[in-house]
Amino acid sequence: MNVGVRTVGAVPHVTLRGVSKIYPARGKNAAVHALGPVDLDLTRGEFFSIVGPSGCGKSTILDLLSGLGGPSEGEIRCNGMDVGGKVPAGVGVVFQDDASFPWLTVRENASFGLRHNGTDPAVIKERVDYFLNFVGLAKFADAMPAQLSGGMRQRLCIVRTLVMKPDLIILDEPFGALDQQTRFLMGDELLRIWRETNATIVLVTHSLDEAAILSDRIGVMSARPGRFLKFINTEWERERDSRNASTPRFGQITSELWSVLREESIKSMGRVEAR
Amino acid sequence: MKATTIARLLVVAFCVGLLELLCRTGQMPRLVIIPPSEMFIAMIGLLRQPQILDSLAFTVMVVAVSGVMSVVMGVLIGIVIHATPRLREVVEPVLSAYYAIPNFIFYPLFIVVFGLGAPSLIALAVLFAIGAMVIATIDGLDSIPPIYRRVASVFQIGYRKELWHIRLPAAAPYLLTGMKLVVVYAFIAVIAGEFLLSNKGVGHEIAFAYNNFDNASMYGLILLVILLILLINALLRLVRAPGSRGTELAR
């Protein structure tokens, strides 16, 4: 049974069918079967997280979803259109690394995408002001990224994505470089953004706590080649925040995640040690 | 003022003072070198002469034209080499050995092609300075974090916009270093070239004074060139890539 495919409910926003990724051999390095085959349906407005051991292909699946890379096999559709290695309209990506441009001010960074797709300057100003204010960066609008903390720069990257009004937001460990407290607070902010925008969110994270607090549904991946081993529905209300970490349900979710992930992590570590 | 700056100034003052003392006490013959104080007085006197001011303006103009040409052509060549891996494979060894070739050996060729004067000097200076700009551009483009290219892909802005709005600004620290080297190299090439390829310019005036045993003018002009290069270097040190200096605003 393929648990990633939903047979009832709304029309899926994103579908993956039989998707695999094999990186071809290069020089002395053998070909790497990084992912799949995987099947997945994402419902419109869903908050979906992906967890898995290191090197299981989590980032690969995000690249494929966002069109930054094409699959070796299978089909990916977003809003019914074949993604096929091209970034589809309405997709925003927030990366793990700081991707703010140090030569632009916060405001110029935030408006980067809009300025280059010919959006009216008045609309740019309105949207940028709104989202900078929304994430608490309004008073830093004229600052340079070097003057901001790591968390603020990551919020800036989120704003740069949000102003494009994407209906699918893909986040690749966006809080990976932040401390635990800041991660929780940033997670709350992400939930607020998700409720505000009604976007579908796909989050890749190493943190089981983060996945458990934020998600509607969590996909647990196997060691490489990554496949979905299990999907866990968190059953949280849409109105939620990091205070859920103190509920019994949070403990159930994380222990369920770990029970699946432990074996896979051992396999993954064994491979690293055997190299 | 920082302690290191004070220490540097003290070293310079000591060396100048020592030279002054050696010259004044006759330890250094006047035929070889004159005291720094006399050099300074000679320099001030030279700056009142219209012919010297013309020569100075000529040298600065030639350096400026050579510098701009070296930067523009160097960046363009660097971009093309960086974007063409096969060309890069061929050209890279030549670039790494670029400054092993003494470019001044081409001066007879420049005289034949361009004649005496500014065009020959510009050709010589561009040939001397452009290598630094090409290398800096390639290094700068190599240094761009891959994440920026991914951002460009997500925003689907196309190669030209990516180059202009992401790659070149991201490479700016390297490009600025290249530009600073271009100014210095162009200055060296123009002053040296004026000894041979020109009947104008500060280099020519130094050679003229030397040939006429006019030590005061020669050292006055040498001091002028040194002070000019120090001033340009100081100004170049003030130029930094946007965003490279951050104040503690939010940390």
The model's pLDDT over A167-187, given as tens digits with 9 standing for 90+, comes to 899 998 888 777 778 788 888
- Per DSSP, the residues of B1-22 read --HHHHHHHHHHHHHHHHHHHH
Residue A129, class by beta-carbon neighbours within 10 Å (0-12 exposed, 13-18 middle, 19+ buried)?
middle
**B151–A116: do the CB atoms touch at under 8 Å?**
no
B148 in A contact zone (CB under 8 Å) = yes
Residue B78, class by beta-carbon neighbours within 10 Å (0-12 exposed, 13-18 middle, 19+ buried)?
buried
What domains can be seen in chain B, in order of their start residue?
52-250 (1.10.3720.10)
**B250–A140: do the CB atoms touch at under 8 Å?**
yes
Model pTM greater than 0.90?
A: no
Task: With beta carbons less than 8 A apart as the criterion, state whether A155 and A113 touch.
Answer: no
The minimal CB distance from B150 to the residues A68, A113, A164 is found for A68
At A30, give phi and psi (nearest 5°): -70, 165
pLDDT band at A4 (very low <50, low <70, confident <90, very high): low
CA distance A86 to A24: 20
Chain A residue with the nearest C-alpha to that of B145: A99
The reported pLDDT for the residue numbered A272 is: 52
Q: Taking 70 as the threshold, does the pLDDT of residue A6 lie above it?
A: no
**A116–B157: do the CB atoms touch at under 8 Å?**
yes
The reported pLDDT for the residue numbered B242 is: 67
The reported pLDDT for the residue numbered B107 is: 83
**A103–B245: do the CB atoms touch at under 8 Å?**
no
Q: Taking 50 as the threshold, does the pLDDT of residue A8 lie above it?
A: no
CA distance B119 to B140: 30
DSSP code of B105?
G
ipTM of model? 0.80
Chain A residue with the nearest C-alpha to that of B149: A99
Structure-derived torsion over alpha carbons of residues B140, B181, A105, A186, reported in degrees to the nearest 10: 50
pLDDT band at A275 (very low <50, low <70, confident <90, very high): very low
Alpha-carbon distances, residue B29 vs B12, B21, B34, B41, B76 (angstroms): 22, 12, 8, 19, 51
The reported pLDDT for the residue numbered B178 is: 93
Q: Taking 60 as the threshold, does the pLDDT of residue A225 lie above it?
A: yes
* Residue listed under structure tokens 């060396």: B15
**CB-defined contacts A:B, below 8 A:** 71
**A148–B249: do the CB atoms touch at under 8 Å?**
yes
Which chain A positions have a beta carbon within 8 Å of B173's beta carbon?
A: none
Which chain A positions have a beta carbon within 8 Å of B248's beta carbon?
A: 147
**B151–A99: do the CB atoms touch at under 8 Å?**
yes
Is A177 or A161 the better-scoring residue by pLDDT?
Answer: A161
Q: In Å, how far is A254's CA from the nearest CA of chain B?
A: 31
The reported pLDDT for the residue numbered B247 is: 46
Q: Which of A64-68, A200-204, A261-265, B77-81 has the lowest mean pLDDT?
A: A261-265
Helix (H, G, I), strand (E, B) or coil at A170: strand
Helix (H, G, I), strand (E, B) or coil at B205: helix
Q: pLDDT, tens digit, for every residue of A81-95?
A: 888 778 888 889 998
**A147–B155: do the CB atoms touch at under 8 Å?**
no
Task: With beta carbons less than 8 A apart as the criterion, state whether A206 and A173 touch.
Answer: yes
Q: In Å, how far is A187's CA from the nearest CA of chain B?
A: 20
The reported pLDDT for the residue numbered A2 is: 43
Q: Which of A5-9, A67-71, A144-148, A181-185 has the lowest mean pLDDT?
A: A5-9
Positions of chain B with pLDDT lower than 50, given as ranges: 245-248, 251
Q: pLDDT, tens digit, for every residue of A231-246?
A: 999 989 998 988 988 9
Residue A49 bridge partners (DSSP) = A203, A218
Task: Name the nearest CA neighbour of A253 among A59, A61, A45, A49.
Answer: A49
What's the count of helices (H) and strands (E) in chain B, helices before strands? 12, 0
**Neighbouring C-beta atoms of residue A145, cutoff 10 Å:** 22
Give helix B107-114 / helix B118-142 axis angle, nearest 10°: 120
A147, A170, A172, A173, best to mutate vs chain B, most B CBs in 10 Å: A147
Calculate the average pLDDT of chain A. Answer: 86
Q: Taking 60 as the threshold, does the pLDDT of residue A127 lie above it?
A: yes
